Chains A and B, each alone.
Chain A
Amino acid sequence: MLPVVVVHGGAGHIPKERSELSTSGVTSAVRAGYAVLRGGGSSMDAVVEAVTYLENNPAFNAGCGSVLNVKGDVEMDAFVMEGKTLGSGAVSAVRNIANPIQLARLVMDKTSHLCLTAEGAKQFARSMGVPEVPQESLITEYSRMRWRKNLAPDANPVECQMGKMG
C-alpha cells in the first residue's frame, strides 16, 4: 500500500485567466497534505490540512472566495469522514467561519451527531473556541462580480458555474 493524497479544486468552467491560479493552488494544497502523511500524520489529518489550504486560497469556491447566495451572503457546507470507524462530521449553511472543514472535524470528534447546521453550527463553533470572522473577509471581488452578473433575470447560475452540458 502506498500513501497518497489527492485534491480537487472544483469541477466546472475555469476561465483561462484563472487556470494558473487553480493549478498552483491545488499543487500547494496537495504538497501540504502529503507533508502531513510524511510526518506520520493520519489520512484524516492530511485531508483536513489540504482542504484548509484550499479554503484559505481565494481562487477557490470554499472558505475565502466562496460564491454568494442570492442575498449576497456567504453560506458554506463542509464534510469529513474517516474509513476506519466510519466516523464523520459535517456543517451546513455556516457563516463567519474561516475554515468550515475544521468545524466539521470538530463535529466528528466532539459530538455524537453527524451534521450541525446554520445557527446551531455557529453556537457549537463558539463553544469550541473557533473564532468568528467578518463576512467581508470571505468575499472576493470575483465572487461579488459573479453574483451581480447572475442577478440578471435571464441568468443561469448553474450553467455559469458548471458549463453547458455536452
Chain B
Amino acid sequence: TVGAVAVDSQGNVACATSTGGILNKMEGRVGDTPCIGCGGYADNMVGAVSTTGHGEAIMKVVLAKHILYQMEQGQSVEAASDLGLACMKFRAAGLGGVITVDPQGHWAARFSSRQMAWAAAQKDTLHYGLYEGE
C-alpha cells in the first residue's frame, strides 16, 4: 500500500491511498483502502490520514476516522496516530502504519509494524525514515 496526505497554502487537507491488497488474497477481496474512514479520511476541521497495514483490522476499528476523532478530542497528531494504532493492535490484532496531518501543518508518520517507508517535505526540508525513531 502507498499513500499521501497534504496541506496546501489555503489550509485545505487531502489524502490519497492506493494498493494491490494483501498477498494471495481471494479474488474479489476488498480491503480497507477504498472504504471511507478506513484507508483514509480528510476533513478541513480536523486533518487528514492515510493508512496502511492489515486491512481487515484497519476496517474493524475504522482507523483513519478513529485517529481524527482522537484529534477532535484534543490529541496531537502523534498521540492520536499512536492511539489509533494501539486500538487496532489490541482490539483487532492488527499491525499497520499511518501518516497524519492537521490543517496547521503539524504532521506525523507512525507505525506498529517493524518498518514503514515514509517521507515528508515542509519548509523545503526533507524528512524520511524506515525504522522506529527515524
Interface set of A (CB-CB < 8 Å, partner B): 1-14, 19, 22-23, 25-27, 29-31, 33-34, 37, 40-44, 46-48, 50-51, 54-55, 60-63, 65-71, 73-84, 86, 88, 90-93, 100-101, 104-105, 114-115, 117-118, 143, 146-147, 150-151, 155, 157-158, 160-163, 165
How many residues on B have C-beta within 8 angstroms of the other chain's C-beta atoms? 78
Contacts known (A22-B117, A26-B117); A67 close to B20, Cβ less than 8 A: yes
Per the 8 Å Cβ criterion, residues 76-109 of B in contact with A are 89, 93, 95-101, 103-105, 107, 109
Please give the distance in Å from A48's CB to the nearest CB on chain B.
Answer: 6
- Cα–Cα distance between A157 and B107 once the two chains are bound (Å): 31
- The answer to whether A165 and B95 touch across the interface, beta carbons within 8 angstroms, is yes
Contacts known (A47-B16, A83-B44); A7 close to B118, Cβ less than 8 A: yes
Residues of B within 8 A of A12 (CB): 52-53, 95, 113-116
The 10 closest A-B pairs by CB, nearest first: A66-B20, A11-B97, A2-B105, A9-B117, A90-B34, A34-B121, A54-B2, A157-B23, A22-B117, A43-B14
The residue in chain A whose Cβ has the minimal distance to the Cβ of B1 is A10
Interface of B is mostly: strand
